[in-house]
Chain A
Amino acid sequence: MRDNNNSPINQKINIKKITNLPGFSSFTSALMAIVLGLIFGFFVMLAAAPANAVAGFRYVLMGGLGRIGDVFYFATPILMTGLAVGFAFKMGLFNIGASGQYTMGMFFALYVGFMWDLPGAMQWIAAIIAGMVGGMLWGLIPGIFKALMNVNEVITSIMFNYIGMYLVDMLIQGNSVMYISTKTRTNYLPSTVQIPSLGIPGSNVNLGIIFAIIFGVILYIVLQKTTFGYELKATGFNKYAAEYAGMKGKTNIIITMAIAGGLAGLGGAFAILAPSAIAGSSMTYEPVNIIAANGFNGIAVALLGSAHPIGTIFSALFISYIQRGGTLASLVGYKPEIIDIVIAVIIYFSAFAMIMNHAAASFVKKRLGKVDKAADTFALQEDDPNNSEKGAE
C-alpha cells in the first residue's frame, strides 16, 4: 500500500473503504436524524410559544453541559436497557420486554438489599448480581417461548411486561419490610446496599455508569471476537442459512434473550441502588401498576445507536444529555415532554436516514462502476464481521 497512492484504481478503493466503514454510515445517518429531529423540535417550540423558542432551544442544546454528572447518572439505566434491546436486535429479535426485565431486576435487587445481611461491600455487589439474575429470568421466558414454541417474541415480551409489573407490585406490597403502606412507597435502602457515588457534587452519578460502559465494551467484544457473537449475527442476517451451516439457532435464541434480560435487569438494579445525595435516604419504588418508562427509552437508545454496543453508549449519553436540557427548558415555560417528541422524531427519521444512506452509498458504488447487490440487507445490521473490525481501528 506504500507506492500506489497515485493510481486512480486505488483511490477508488480508498473512497469505498471509507463509505464502507459500518461505523461511518451509522454515524452519518444518526447525525442526519438528530439534526432533523432537533429542527422539528424547534418548530414545535415555535408553534407552542414563539416568544421563548430561541431561549428554550438554547437550553435544550446547551443545558446538559452544566450538569454533566446528571447526564451520566440518568444515562446509566437507559444505557443498560438500550444494550438489552440492541443485543437482541443483532439476532433479529425485537426485545420490547426490556421494561418487564428492568422491573424484575429492580425487584430482585431490592429483595436482596432488604432481606439479606452480608458484610460491607458484598451487599451492594450481591444486590446488583441479583438484579441481573432477575432480569435474565424474565428474558429467558420469551426466549424459551420463541425457540421451543415459535411464539412471536414481541407478543411474549409485551405480555411479560404486564405480568412482571403486576407481580412485582404485588410482591412488594405484600412485604412489610420492603413496603411502607402509609407512604405507598418502598422503604429506604440501607446505605451499604447503595452503589458508591463517584463524588461529583450535585449529582447522584455512581459506579453504575462505569459498569454500564464496561458492559457495553464487553458486548462489543462478544459480538466481534467470539464464535457465539458470530453465530448470533449470522442468525440475525439469515436464520435459514445459519441453521444450514449447523448453528444451533434455538439454543442461541434462548441464550441471547437471557443475556438481554440480564442487561435490562442490571439497569433496574443500577437505578434502584443509586446513592442519594440526602443522608439516610435512597431511591424508592412506588408500585402503581405502570410499566417502567426506562425500558421503552432503551428501545430509542438502541435504535439511535444502530444496535451497536459502542454506538449505544453514545446514544444513551446523547439522549440523557438532551433530556437534561429539556428539563431546563421548563424555566422558560416549556414542558419536558418536548424532548420525548424530539427523540421520537429522531427515531422516525433514523429509520429512513439509513435508507437514504444506502441510496447514497449505492450511488457512489455505481459511479465506481461496481454494482453491489449486497445493499439490501436489514438496514440495522452492519456489514460482515471483517469490515467491522476494520471499522474499529
Chain B
Amino acid sequence: MDTVYYLIQNMLPVGIPLLLVALGGMFSERSGVVNIALEGIMLFGAFFGALFVYFVQKSGMGPQTILLLGMLVAAIAGLIYSLLLSFASVTMKANQVITGTSLNMLIPAVILLFSKMFFNSDGITTNMNFYIREIPVLGKLPVIGPMFFQRTYLTVMIGFVFLAIAIILLYKTRFGLRLMACGEHPHAADSVGINVHKMRYAGVSISGILGGIGGFFYSVGVMDGNVSGHSGVAGFGFLALAVMIFGQWKPVRIFLAAMFFAFLRTLAYSVSLIPFLADLGINQTYYKMLPYLATMVVLAFTSKRSRAPKAEGIPYDKSQR
C-alpha cells in the first residue's frame, strides 16, 4: 500500500501541469484555433513565475502565498504571450501551426539569452520550498489523506479546482456553448450573432492562462521551482496536446488521460523502488519509453472514432459565409 501511496503522491504533481495545459489546449481548439504553442506558453509562464519567486523569496512571505502570487504572475504572462498567437492566427488569419512553432522557438532562446546575460546561468534557480509534508485535518483521513493530502504541493488541489471550473465553464455556461459552436461551425455561430473573432480570442486567452499556470506548476512540482532554457518544460506542452487528443477534447477524459500518462512516467522513474519491477531486471530506459509507447497504442485504438472540433485550424473568414 505504501508503494501505491508513493506513486500517487509523485504522480499528481506531474499530472496536474499536464491536465491544466491540456485543458488550455482544449479551450483553444474548441474555439477553432490549434494551439501548438503550448510548450512556449508554458515556458513563458514558468519563467515569469520563477522570476517572481526569485525576487520575493527573501521577503519573508509564506511559501504558499508566494506560490499563489507566482501562479497569478504566470497566468498573466501566459495570457500576454498567447495574445501573440491569437493576433496572428485570428486577426491576421495566419497559419496557426507556423505561428505556434515560431512562438515555441522564441522562448527558450529568450530565456537563455536573458539568463546568461543577467544570471550567468542557463535559467533561474530559486531556493523556495513549496513542498507540503501534511495538510492539517485532511491529511489524517484514511486512504484519501495519504493519497492527496500528504507529501504534496498546493498545486495539486488548485489543479482539481481548475478542472471543476473548466467543466462548468465549457458545458454549463452560455460562453462555453458559444465557444464550442465557434470551433464546430463558425459561420453558423456568426449567423446567430456570435462574434467569432472575440470567442477565438477568448479561447486562446484561456489556454494562455492555463498554459502559463501549468508551466509554473511544472517548475514547482517537477523542477523544484527552477526554470532552465535548455531543458525547458521537457516537451510537456506537446505531451499535453497528445493528452488532449487522447482525452477527445473532453475535460474529464483529459483528466484521466493526464493521470494515465503521469502514472506511467512516475513508474518509469521509480522502478528501483518497486521490488517487483526491479527484480525483472529490464533496462530502465524501456520504462522511460513506456508512457510514450502506451500513449501511441491507446491513440491507435481510439483515433478511428476521433472527433476533433470541425473548424479547428481554419482561420475564420466572414466573406466565405
Given the known interface contacts A94-B97, A162-B235, A163-B293, the answer about A347 and B109 at a Cβ–Cβ threshold of 8 Å is no
| Interchain residue pairs with CB less than 8 A apart (19) | A48-B117, A49-B117, A149-B303, A151-B296, A152-B303, A155-B241, A158-B238, A158-B241, A160-B296, A291-B235, A303-B98, A337-B113, A340-B106, A344-B109, A347-B101, A350-B98, A354-B95, A355-B94, A379-B95
A354 to B105, CA, bound (A): 20
| Contact code string B19-55 (vs A, CB < 8 Å = 1, else 0) | 0000000000000000010000000000000000000
Closest B residue to A146 by beta carbon equals B303
Beyond contacts A162-B235, A162-B292, A296-B105: 16 other A-B pairs, Cβ-Cβ < 8 A, are A145-B300, A151-B300, A154-B36, A155-B241, A159-B295, A159-B296, A163-B289, A163-B293, A163-B296, A166-B288, A174-B283, A335-B113, A341-B106, A341-B110, A348-B99, A352-B88
B163: A residues at CB distance < 8 A: none
Closest A residue to B308 by beta carbon equals A152
A388 contacts B by Cβ under 8 Å: no
A219 contacts B by Cβ under 8 Å: no
What residues make up the interface of B, taking CB atoms closer than 8 Å to A? 36, 84, 88, 92-95, 97-99, 101-103, 105-106, 108-110, 112-113, 116-117, 229-231, 235, 238-239, 241-242, 245, 283, 285-286, 288-289, 292-293, 295-296, 299-301, 303-304, 306, 317, 320
A156 contacts B by Cβ under 8 Å: yes
Interface SS, A side: helix
Q: Shortest CB–CB separation between residue A168 and chain B, in angstroms? A: 10
A380: B residues at CB distance < 8 A: 95, 98
- The reply to whether A351 and B94 contact each other, CB–CB distance below 8 Å, is yes
- The reply to whether B242 and A341 contact each other, CB–CB distance below 8 Å, is no
> Looking at B84, B93, B286, which has the most chain A CB atoms within 10 Å of its CB?
B93
Interface SS, B side: helix
| Cross-chain contact of B292 among A145, A159, A296, A299 (Cβ < 8 A) | A159
A341 to B116, CA, bound (A): 14
A299 to B103, CA, bound (A): 13
A166 to B234, CA, bound (A): 13
Closest A residue to B106 by beta carbon equals A344
A129 to B112, CA, bound (A): 37
B113: A residues at CB distance < 8 A: 44, 48, 335, 337-338, 341
A49 to B304, CA, bound (A): 54
A100 to B293, CA, bound (A): 14
- The reply to whether A151 and B303 contact each other, CB–CB distance below 8 Å, is yes
B285: A residues at CB distance < 8 A: 166-167, 169-170
Q: Shortest CB–CB separation between residue A173 and chain B, in angstroms? A: 8
A341: B residues at CB distance < 8 A: 106, 109-110, 113
Contacting B at CB under 8 A, from A339-392, are 340-341, 343-345, 347-348, 350-352, 354-355, 376, 378-380
A173 to B283, CA, bound (A): 11
A49 to B118, CA, bound (A): 11
Q: Shortest CB–CB separation between residue A179 and chain B, in angstroms? A: 14
- The reply to whether A150 and B303 contact each other, CB–CB distance below 8 Å, is yes
Given the known interface contacts A348-B84, A351-B102, the answer about A155 and B299 at a Cβ–Cβ threshold of 8 Å is yes
A350: B residues at CB distance < 8 A: 98
- The reply to whether B245 and A303 contact each other, CB–CB distance below 8 Å, is no
> Looking at B95, B112, B116, B304, which has the most chain A CB atoms within 10 Å of its CB?
B95
| Cross-chain contact of B93 among A154, A174, A299, A355 (Cβ < 8 A) | A355
A156: B residues at CB distance < 8 A: 296, 299
A254 contacts B by Cβ under 8 Å: no
A132 contacts B by Cβ under 8 Å: no
Q: Shortest CB–CB separation between residue B271 and chain A, in angstroms? A: 14
A380 to B94, CA, bound (A): 10
